Amino acid sequence: MGKIRLNEDAEIVATVRKGLAEKDGYCPCRIGKSEDIKCMCKEFKEQIADPEFEGYCHCMLYYKEK
């Protein structure tokens, strides 16, 4: 698995973290609350399981490097 890091843009990180706090850890970029969108979301966990994937999670908080 590649390295996972926070987005290098501190403003994005602060905005997303604020949204996570307001939604009790659920993705602030999505409507509703389910375990699939609890940060770190199911979608990103599946993406990072792929050794060929490189990129940001849905809300751009995390980035996976190869």
Residues 2-39 have pLDDT tens digits of: 799 999 999 999 999 999 999 999 999 999 999 999 99
Whether 43 shows a pLDDT value over 90: the answer reads: yes
Neighbouring CB atoms inside 10 A of 16's CB total 21
Q: What is the pTM of this model?
A: 0.89
Task: In whole angstroms, give the CA distance from residue 19 to residue 12.
Answer: 11
- Higher-pLDDT residue of 6 and 66 is 6
Task: In whole angstroms, give the CA distance from residue 33 to residue 14.
Answer: 21
> Is the CB of residue 10 less than 8 Å from the CB of residue 18?
no
Whether 1 shows a pLDDT value over 70: the answer reads: no
Cα–Cα–Cα angle for 50, 56, 58, rounded to 5 degrees: 100
- State CA 27 to chain mean position distance: 8
